[in-house]
Structure 1
Amino acid sequence: MLRYALRRLISLGVTLLVASLVIFLALEVVPGDPAAYMLGVNARPDTLAALRAELGLDQTPPARYAAWVAGMLTGDLGLSYTYRTPVVDMIVERLQVSLPLAVYALALSTLIAFPAGIWAAARRGSVVDVVVMGVTQLGVAIPNFWFAMLMVLVFSINLRWFSAGGFPGWEAGVGPGLKALTLPAVALALPQASILARIMRSALIETLSEDYIRTARAKGLSRGQALWRHALRNAMIPVLTIIGLQFSFLLAGVIIIENVFFLPGLGRLVFQAIAARDLIAVESVVMFLVFAVVVVNFAVDLAYAWVDPRLRGRR
């Protein structure tokens, strides 16, 4: 298990290095000068040159990349051009919204998907199976931002059960904070729960057709006992893959939802930084999100090895 983990750690490091290079090069080819954007079109050349030197924009691209990577290794992600605040402080502040939102949405997705997928697999071909698959197909087809706006219309404007947007801060209490995140979490969880339920059903149905399940049934186990004792654990590998990918998506892909509900999270920060051409903030936040995705995938790989020890010797 230790050798398996070390191999995955090396792969993680290589992935992060390549990702940092791609992110830096992608932002290097973006037209425009952040210093000129900040000072406006009427800025004097000497003032513009001074600001570019202050921001480090007068250095060569390799020097800026090396300084950026060296800073990341020491926990220094640079200073935001727009807010004049350390980017790491901005990430920590915004993460207090985005991380609970992602965990909340993933918890809702899992709580909905597991019973639905297991129930549909246990009753394959029945009315229950058809209804569950029809509902999940609808959940996959509905865009989450449209569903978010629909929930605002129903639960915020008409029923007035929830606020239409904003976040009161955790200092106002856990209850108000979770209430403010409920509609965004449901909007994010609906399509993810639909996907996860379908994967759970397919994995269970495939596992239930294996020879060892038929052997267990021949020894006297009922279909339900074979499902819970043997099939469920072996069907978890593709499900763990989807859960890992979903958490990564929920953490890194909430730009639209956070803007619909005016949540001060990482997604909204990226949107604002792009609009302000705050390149250091954009590349650092995106790199942090890549790091989160890679770490989650690493955790999923370790979970694979725990669920199925045979995988430890294959990579």
Structure 2
Amino acid sequence: MKSTIRWLLLGVFTLVCIFFLSNIRNAFLSTQPDQIRVTLGPDTSIQKISDQLPGSRVLNNKTGLLSVPYGESWDYVSKALTIKGIYRVSTVPLERPIISWRYYGYSVKDQIQGFFHGDFGKFRSPYNRNEISVIGELPRMLLRTCTYFIPGLLLAIVLSVLMAMSASLWRRLGLVLDGAQALLVGLPDFFLIVLIQLGAIYATKFLGHYVLLIVQVGDKTPFLIPFLTIALIPSVTIYGTMRVAIARELGQDYVVTAQAKGLTRGEVLISHVLRNVMLDLLSILPKATTLALASMAVAEAICGIFGLGGFITSPAMQSVTSMSVICMSLVLLAMAFHVLYALLRKRFVVRTGEVVSR
């Protein structure tokens, strides 16, 4: 019970930290948070505009400068655009960007108040520029991401375990796979994804007709590119861990005894070694899942996929008013896999210890 409470508190602490870190961009200001500038037509005046914007105050008649409540400059820009007689409305740029912890605290407080009132933020659609509720779009983004994230992660686990066992059975194959693993470890995720994209483009060009979807077009989402990316990058990490674990077990006395009794190397691997390296596999899976999530975010950004990772990294989505909701959703997804691995570890890993006689 104490262990469960401790892990729950750790999860809550992680979510709180992610919330504050995901809002750190609000600490960097390039515009005045309490001023706007309006360009007027000949039939109105700056004072009349100020009277129609409660809470505003005229700072400069000639330049059309208005003072607004702190932190609400963008809201007042939207309000001013609806007033007849205004040609243009904009925020006031600073001479140089600054770090404002006051504005950071204001934005965090404003988000928390919005959460309590059921407002989890909005974003502008890159297709029709309409404002969409984040919480309403979240299930579709999660489903879109999971369609290739879960199959890709499962393929990475199965493929890496099979390759590690094959490398332990055949020495020459092991040398080739170890060399490929060493090469892939040194390559950045971005480079691998670009190579996969280029392969899809050249395959389409060579075959002379459409083969693979490279970027998201409307509701059509690329599958193969993010799927291969998620499967490839974590499998490199899992393979390295399993290769070392299997080599360790093959040097144990019970393996020598089993082979002396007539069991082949393959039978020993499947019947005994695989079961004994299960702890190593379940120990590396949380890290591999984190790598898969990071690879998924990069793949979605490059392919323009409107999923959880693409939402955070895509420049087209930076108008979102509550990025922290998406960040915390990714953390909850990772936590769900960590809980699953913990349950599997409890179910399949045999714990041994010394028995103390009294």
Q: TM-score, structure 1 length as denominator?
A: 0.76
CA-CA distance at 1:271 after TM superposition: 2.3
Does residue 300 of the first structure (1) align with residue 324 of the second (2)? Answer: no
Question: Taking structure 1 as reference, are residues 41 and 194 closer, same or farther at Cα in structure 2, changes over 3 Å only?
Answer: farther
Question: Taking structure 1 as reference, are residues 58 and 258 closer, same or farther at Cα in structure 2, changes over 3 Å only?
Answer: closer
Which residue of 1 is the match for residue 273 of structure 2? 231
The unaligned stretches of length 5 or more in structure 2 are: 39-64, 77-102, 126-130, 354-358
Higher RCO, 1 vs 2 (CA within 8 Å, ≥6 residues apart): 1
Give the SS at the match of 1:85: strand
Give the SS at the match of 1:263: coil
Contact 2:33 2:73 in 1 (8 A): no
Which residue of 1 is the match for residue 213 of structure 2? 163
Which residue of 2 is the match for residue 127 of structure 1? 172
Does residue 101 of the first structure (1) align with residue 148 of the second (2)? Answer: yes
Contact 1:148 1:187 in 2 (8 A): yes
Of 246, 250, 255 in structure 2, the residue corresponding to residue 204 of structure 1 is: 246
Which residue of 2 is the match for residue 290 of structure 1? 331
| Aligned counterparts, 1:139-288, within 5 A | 139-157=184-202, 158-159=205-206, 160-166=210-216, 169=219, 180-251=222-293, 253-272=295-314, 276=318, 278-280=320-322, 282-288=323-329
> How many residues are paired up?
288
Which is richer in helix? Answer: 1
Q: TM-score, structure 2 length as denominator?
A: 0.68
Which residue of 2 is the match for residue 85 of structure 1? 132
Q: Matched residues in 2 for 1:164 and 1:50: separation?
A: 36
Amino acid at match of 1:99: C
What percentage of aligned pairs have identical amino acids?
18
Q: Deviations over 1:106-148 (max 9, x none)?
A: 133234312211011223xx22211111112222222232222
Contact 2:234 2:291 in 1 (8 A): no
Q: Matched residues in 2 for 1:299 and 1:44: separation?
A: 55
Amino acid at match of 2:272: H
Contact 1:121 1:202 in 2 (8 A): no
Which is richer in strand? Answer: 2
Question: Taking structure 1 as reference, are residues 306 and 263 closer, same or farther at Cα in structure 2, changes over 3 Å only?
Answer: same
Q: Matched residues in 1 for 2:236 and 2:295: separation?
A: 17
Q: Matched residues in 2 for 1:264 and 1:65: separation?
A: 23
Q: Which has the larger radius of gyration?
A: 2
CA-CA distance at 1:24 after TM superposition: 3.4
Does residue 118 of the first structure (1) align with residue 165 of the second (2)? Answer: yes
Contact 1:106 1:189 in 2 (8 A): yes
CA-CA distance at 1:149 after TM superposition: 1.8
Please report the RMSD computed on the Cα atoms of aligned residues, expressed in angstroms: 3.6
Contact 1:94 1:265 in 2 (8 A): yes
Contact 2:156 2:232 in 1 (8 A): yes
Question: Taking structure 1 as reference, are residues 288 and 213 closer, same or farther at Cα in structure 2, changes over 3 Å only?
Answer: same
Which residue of 2 is the match for residue 14 of structure 1? 9
